[in-house]
Amino acid sequence: MIGPLAGREKLFRPFGGGGIIDRNLLNQAALAYLRDEKFTVALWTCVPRDWADPNDWQDRAMACIQAERESVVVLHDLPTGAMRHLASFIERIEASNRPFIQDFPDSVIPVRDGVVTRRFETLFPVRGQPIHLL
């Protein structure tokens, strides 16, 4: 549906349970599937909890954006009413002179086109049983 705006990568964003990035985010079977099917796993730097606070999430998101050099903000298109503020949020970002780009920074990509990156182990520290990457 997005036609020429679509990127070349097959993207996957795991469910983060409120934005938590830890070793529970991907299990062995999920990782194997994502690798086999050559997905790129995109994580995030900011989860402003738009689903929980549909009217005031923009201030939290802007605080993240202003504090980070590069931000990857997760917003949800759930029927909470939060997206009625999307246009004004985009205007606030544009007014702050932060560009929108379609690419994801390497810092949030633990798997790119099915290949596990060096970021994987730092994002998903494993205690006990190792995750076999090869």
32 with 17, same domain: the answer is: yes
pLDDT score at 133: 37
Q: How many helices (H) and strands (E) does the chain have?
A: 4, 4
26 with 56, same domain: the answer is: no
Mean pLDDT of the chain: 87
List pLDDT tens digits, range 87-130: 999 999 999 999 998 889 988 999 999 998 876 766 665 544 44
Position 69 in a domain: yes
Domain that holds residue 54: 45-102
Position 133 in a domain: no
Q: Is the separation of the CB atoms in 69 and 99 below 8 Å?
A: no
58 with 95, same domain: the answer is: yes
Q: Is the separation of the CB atoms in 53 and 78 below 8 Å?
A: no
Position 132 in a domain: no
The average pLDDT across 61-66 equals: 95
pLDDT score at 128: 43
pLDDT score at 125: 55
At which residue do the structure tokens 């909470």 appear? 80
Q: In three state form, how does the secondary structure of 60-106 look? A: HHHHHHHHCCCCCECCCCCCCCHHHHHHHHHHHHHHCCCCCCCCCCH
Position 131 in a domain: no
Position 19 in a domain: yes
Give the total number of structural domains in the chain.
2
